[in-house]
């Protein structure tokens, strides 16, 4: 039997059960997205929510909102950037930054190009909306293996320099993101990163600043 092709499209309400199952597979030790949170994403910013589907199976997702960056501190946590995962702080009137709140791919299909497709959809969205950039907190999935010997800042610097590889941050650097710094206590319930992340940025080459 021929394997179904992967398609990236905007998220729909009928995808919610698949998204919750995907979250449970990717983050088995963390609470999954709730239906209320996913519904809020679609209510406030449907254009910013993407799923990757293979046939009738949800195999990846990317969730985003627009923020006015000056409203936040560099060390702001994921929970505050997303208003507890609801995205009700979405600010398209003032904001010029797409905040990449989530991206994930089914564990059994990683390395198949699905993540690249989701990142491409986000970049296309930023260009279409005329936004300045994408920023995100890249969870440091490999940090738990180095925590005894490195601070989060040292770990991020080593990954950025190509001295060690991190499953998330290295992938994002290869997608054109640059590292702005490390943030402690960015996440909860994440034993791989121990709560730490790197703040990363991709600049829209087509962005035109106002006169």
Q: 164-202, pLDDT tens digit by residue?
A: 999 889 989 998 999 999 988 888 778 888 888 999 999
Its domain, for residue 81, covers: 1-131
Q: Please give the pLDDT value at position 29.
A: 81
Output 69-76 pairs: Cβ under 8 A, ≥24 positions apart. 69/95, 69/96, 69/97, 69/135, 74/180, 74/181, 74/183, 74/199, 75/183, 75/184, 75/186
Residues 78 and 148 in one domain: no
The answer, yes or no, to whether residue 85 has pLDDT greater than 90, is yes
Mean pLDDT of the chain: 92
Task: Say yes or no: 211 and 153 in one domain.
Answer: yes
| pLDDT tens-digit map of 110-125 | 989 999 999 999 999 9
Q: Are residues 67 and 3 in the same domain?
A: yes
- Among 111, 131, 151, give the residue marking a domain's end: 131
Whether residues 93 and 43 fall in one domain: yes
Tell whether 160 and 98 lie within a shared domain.
no
Residue 165 near residue 142 (C-beta atoms within 8 A): yes
> Does one domain contain both 149 and 127?
no
In sign, the C-alpha dihedral spanning 37, 39, 44, 50 is positive
Helices (H) and strands (E) counted in the chain, each on its own, are 6, 7
Contact 177, 161 (CB under 8 A): no
Same domain? 100 vs 173 = no
- Assess whether pLDDT exceeds 60 at residue 211: no
Please report, rounded to a whole number, the percentage of residues in the chain having pLDDT higher than 70. 97
Query: Structure pTM?
Result: 0.91
pLDDT tens per residue, range 131-172: 999 999 988 989 999 999 999 999 999 999 999 999 889 989
**Is the domain of 29 the same as that of 113?**
yes
pLDDT of residue 1: 42
Write down the pLDDT at residue 3: 63
pLDDT tens-digit readout, 15-69: 999 999 999 999 888 889 999 999 999 999 999 999 999 999 999 999 999 999 9
Please state the domain count of the chain.
2
């Amino acid at each position: 039997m021929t394997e179904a092709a992967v398609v990236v499209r905007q998220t729909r309400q009928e995808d919610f059960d698949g998204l919750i199952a995907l979250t449970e597979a990717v983050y088995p030790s963390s609470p999954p997205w709730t239906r209320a949170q996913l519904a809020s994403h679609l209510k406030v910013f449907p254009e910013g929510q993407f799923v990757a589907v293979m046939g009738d199976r949800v195999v990846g997702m990317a969730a985003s909102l627009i923020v006015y960056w000056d409203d936040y501190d560099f060390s702001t946590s994921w929970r505050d950037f997303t208003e507890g995962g609801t995205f009700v702080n979405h600010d398209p009137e003032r904001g010029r930054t797409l905040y990449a709140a989530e991206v994930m791919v089914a564990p059994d299909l990683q390395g198949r190009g699905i993540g690249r497709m989701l990142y491409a959809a986000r970049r296309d969205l930023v260009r279409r909306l005329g936004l300045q950039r994408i920023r995100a907190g890249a969870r440091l999935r490999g940090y738990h293996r180095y925590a005894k010997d490195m601070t989060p800042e040292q770990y991020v610097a080593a990954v950025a320099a190509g001295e060690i590889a991190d499953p998330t941050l290295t992938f994002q650097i290869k997608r054109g993101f640059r590292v702005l710094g490390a943030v402690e206590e960015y996440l909860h319930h994440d034993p791989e990163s121990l709560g730490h992340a790197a703040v990363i940025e991709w600049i829209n080459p087509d962005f035109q600043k106002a006169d």
